[in-house]
Structure 1
Amino acid sequence: MQTTKRIFRVLPRLTAKSTLFGAASAHSRSFYTNRILYSLLDDFNKAKQQVGSLAEDPGNDVKLQMYALFKQSMIGSCNAPKPGMMDFVGKAKWTAWSSLGDLSQDDAKKQYIDVVNGLLANEASAQPVSPQAAAPPGGYHTLVVSNEGGVFTIRINRPDKKNALTMQTYEELIKALDQASNDKTVVLAAVTGTGDYYSSGNDLSNFANIQPDQIAKMADDARDILIRFVGAFIDFPKPLISLVNGPAVGVMVTTLGLYDAVYATDKATFHTPFSQLGQTPEGCSSYTFPKLMGTGKAAEMLLFNQKISAHEACQRDLVTEVFPDSSFHKEVTARLQRHAKYPVKSMVYAKKLYRDQEREILHKINAQECDRLVERWQSEDCINAIMSFFSKKSKM
C-alpha cells in the first residue's frame, strides 16, 4: 500500500517532467524549423540581389523560368487572368507561371536559388577574356569567319544556344556572304556551326520581347531581313558549300537547296517543323524540295514535320555526301582544299550558267514565301504554338 502511494506521489512529477521535455522538444523543433525558413529566406533574398550582378544575359528562356519561380515563391499558384492573344510578353510570363501548378512557395524559392547559383557558377568557370580577344575579328559577334587558301569559312558561333539564329546572326551571315563574294582571294565559301549543332534554326525566344503593338512591325522587319538573307544565297556567285556538322533545323535546312554542295556528318539530322509552329516554309524550299526529292518526300518534311537522318537526306538529294562523324572535319577540309585549287573564274561562269536559268524564279518564290510568313507570324495559331513552345521550355 505504501509502495502504491509512493508511486502516485512520484507520478505527477514524472508527468510534469515528461510534459516539460515534450514542450522543450516542440520548442526545439519549432526553433530549427524557423531557422531553416529564415536561412531559406536569406538565401532567396541574396539570390535576388545577385541576379543584377550577372555579366551575361541568361536568355529569355531562363528569364521566364526565373520570373515564374519568383512569382510562385511570393504569391503561390498563378492567380492572374490570362493575357490577350497579342500580348506576347504577358502571355509568355503567364504561361511560364501557370505551368508551375501547385508548386509550394518554399520549393519555388529553392528552385529560384538553384537557377541563380547555376548561372553564377557558369560565369565563374568561364575563362577570362583579354580586351584584345574581346573585340571580334571583322566585327562579327555571332560568327567566326576565316579565309585560308581561298576557302572562306563562315561558322555560326552560338554553341550554348545550339547555334540558333538571332536577327544579328542573320545580318552577319548576309555580311559574310557579301564579303566572300567581293574578296578576290576567295575561291569558294563554306558554312558550318560551332560545337555539336549545325543550327537549331530561329531563336524563338526573340518573340518573347515583342509587345502587342510591335507585332506588325516585327513581321515586316523579319520579312525584310529574310528576303535579303535568302537572296544572298540565291545571288552568291561562287561555289557555296554547306558543312552540316550536326542537327539542322528550320531555315538552315530549307536553304540547303540553294547550295552547290552539302556535306554532312552521319550524326546530322534535318528537321523543318513549320506546321508544328504554325508557320510555312521559307528559303525557297517550297520550290527546291519538290524539285530535289519529289512532292511526296518534300511534303513529309515541309507539311508533316518529319525529321530525317543524314543518309535519308542524301537519298533525297538534299545532301551531296555523308561522312563518318569521327573523320568529318578532316575529310571535308581536304575536299574543300582540293576544290579551292580549281580556277575560280571557271567555277563562277559554270555556276552562272545554271543559276541564271532560275534566278528570277527563286527570287519570286522567296518573296511569296516571305509574304505568307508575315501573315503567319501575326496569326493566332502561330502565336499559340510559340507560347506552347515557351511553356515546354519553362518546364525543362
Structure 2
Amino acid sequence: MWIQGCRALVASSRITSAYRLVGPTTTTRFPVRCFASAKDFESAKERLNTLKEDPGPDVKLKLYGLFKQATVGQCNAPKPGMLDIVGKAKWSAWNSLGSMSQDDAKKEYVKVVEELVKSSGGDSEESAKSDSQSSSGGKFKELIYEEKDKVTYITMNRPNKMNAITSNMYFEFVDALEMAANNKNYATVITGAGKYFSSGNDLSNLMKVGGGSMKDMAEAAAVMLEKFVDAFIDHPKLLVGLINGPSIGIACTTLGLYDVIYATDTATFHTPFTNLGLTPEGCSSYTFPKRMGAMRANEVLLLGKKMSSAEALECGFITEVFPADSFQQETQRRLQSFAKLMPISLKESKTFIRSVEKEKLHQVNHEECTKLITMWQGEECISAATKFLSRK
C-alpha cells in the first residue's frame, strides 16, 4: 500500500505539468471572450508561470480536468484502483466535466487562469521586475536571494505553505549558499517569509524524488539531503539564522551548523522524528548534544519535545531572543555591528573553528543519511506517512 501511495504522489506532480509549461512567461493582459482561441489557451498555460503562490490542490485538480477536457475531450480513461488516491482524484476532476465541449473547457480554463493571475498579481510587470531583481535574475523560484549592505539574505519564500521545504528548494539552497560563499559579503543570513521559519520537509513533494521504487526514492532523497547539509557544513561565511517563527524538522536540525541564531519570542524548535518513524538528520545527532547538553538533546531528539525560544536560549542552542514586534529592527542592528569586524579575520576565524570538526560533521551527515534510507522504507515511517496521506 505504501508503494502505491508513493507512486500516487509521484503521479500528483503531473497535475502541475497540465498547467505549467517550460518557456518564457508573458505579462500581456487579455480579456476573456465568449470563445477561447488557441492563442488564448496557450497563453493561459504560460501565464500560470507568473503565479507567486501555489493555487492549492483543489484548483490544480480543476485545471487538470479542464486541460484534459480541452485537449482530449470527454473522459475516456478507466477509473483508477482504490489505492491510487491521487489518480482517482485526477480522474474524478476530469470525469465530472461530463460532456462539456472542448471549446467550453478551454474557455473555462482561460477564465480560471485569468482569475488566479489577477488575484496573485502574477501578471504585473513591476512585480515581475521586482522578483527578478530580488531573486538573482529569476534563478530561484522558492527562495529570495538578496545582497545588500555586505550581507547575503536567503529567504524561504513559501509563506502560504509555512515555508515547507520541497525538493526544488533543497537544490536552490545548495546553489544559493554557493553563490553566497563566493561573493564579497561578510555574512549569510537565512530566514523565512511570513509567520514560519520553516515547517520542515514538504512530504508530498519529497516523495516523488527519484521516482521508481520506494528504495530508489529513498536513495535519491538521501543523496539530495546529504548535499544540502554538506552545503551548510562547508559554508565559509558567518552563517546567521533569523528564526521568525516555528522551526521544524530539517529546518531545525541544521541550526546546529549556524554560527549565530536570533529568534523571536514566539519561535519554537521541534524535531518530531520518533513520531514519524525516523532518525536524526542535519548532523543533529552530533551538534545537539554538543550545543545543548545530552539530557536536553535527548528530550528534543528522542522524545520530540518542542522547545520555546526561551528554553532554546537557556540551554545554549540559540544566541539571543527578541520580541516579535521589534525583531527586525533589533536583528538589523546586530548585523550592522558585524560590518565593523575585519572581514578577512572573520572568515579565517570561521574556517579555523570549523576545520577542527569539519571531517567529523561530514561523516555524521553521511551516516545519518544512510540510516534514513532504511528508516524511510520501514513499517513505522510507512504507517506515519499513510496517516499523513489520509489526512491530505
Residues 221 and 388 of structure 1: is their aligned pair in 2 closer, same or farther, counting only changes over 3 Å?
same
**Would you say 1:58 and 2:55 are equivalent positions?**
yes
Deviation of 1:154 (Å): 0.8
Offset of residue 353 of structure 1: 2.2
1:169–1:255 CA distance, 2 compared to 1 (3 A)? same
Report the CA distance between 1:391 and its aligned residue: 2.2
SS in 2 for 1:137: coil
Q: Work out the CA distance in 2 between the residues paired with 1:91 and 1:352.
A: 49
Shift of 1:279: 1.3
CA distance in 1, matches of 2:153, 2:278: 31
Secondary structure at 2:269 match in 1: strand
Larger CA Rg, structure 1 vs 2: 1
Which residue matches 1:159? 159
User: Residue by residue, what CA displacement relative to the aligned partner does 1:157-207 show, whole Å, maximum 9, x if unpaired?
Assistant: 111111111111111111111111111x21111100111110111111115
Q: Does 1:171 align with 2:165?
A: no
CA contact (8 A) 1:151 1:337 kept: no
Offset at residue 217 of structure 1 (A): 2.2
> Quick one: structure 1 residues 66 and 142, their matched pair in 2 at CA, closer, same or farther if it must change by over 3 Å?
closer
Corresponding residue for residue 276 of structure 2: 277
Please show how residues 4-19 of structure 1 align to structure 2 within 5 Å: none
Match of residue 119, structure 2, among 125, 129, 135: 125
| 1:283-321 C-alpha deviation (Å, 9 max, x unpaired) | 100001111122221111111211111111111211110
Letter in 1 for 2:158: R
Task: Determine the structure 2 residue equivalent to 1:140.
Answer: 140
Higher relative contact order (CA 8 A, sep 6+): 1
Q: Distance in 1 between matches of 2:341 and 2:56?
A: 44
Match of 2:313? 314
| Superposed CA RMSD | 3.1
- What is the CA distance between 1:336 and its match in structure 2? 0.6
Q: Return the alpha-carbon distance in structure 1 between the equivalents of residues 150 and 295 of structure 2.
A: 39
Partners of 2:280 and 2:197 in 1: how far apart?
19
Q: TM-score, normalised by structure 1?
A: 0.70
Distance (whole Å) between structure 2 residues aligned to residue 363 and residue 195 of structure 1: 32
Using the TM superposition, give the Cα deviation of residue 339 of structure 1 relative to its aligned residue in structure 2, in angstroms: 0.5
Distance in 1 separating the partners of 2:151 and 2:118: 37
Number of the residue aligned with 1:336: 335
Q: 1:188 to 1:210 in 2, by over 3 A?
A: closer
The CA deviation at 1:341 is 2.1
1:201 match: secondary structure: coil
Contact kept? 2:210, 2:216, Cα under 8 Å: no
1:190 aligned partner: 189
Match of 2:219 in 1: 220
Distance apart, 1:377 and its partner CA = 1.5
Aligned partners of 2:353 and 2:82: how far apart in 1? 54
Task: Read off the aligned partner of 1:141 and give its amino acid letter.
Answer: K
Amino acid at match of 1:58: P
**Contact 1:58 1:119 (C-alpha < 8 Å) held by counterparts:** no
CA-to-partner distance for each residue in 1:82-108, whole Å, 9 max, x for gaps?
63xxxxxx256789xxxxxxxxx9xxx
* Contact 2:242/2:262, CA 8 A, preserved across alignment: yes
Alpha-carbon contact 1:163-1:197 (below 8 Å) kept: yes
- Residue 129 of structure 1: how far off its partner (Å): 2.5
How many pairs are equivalent? 307
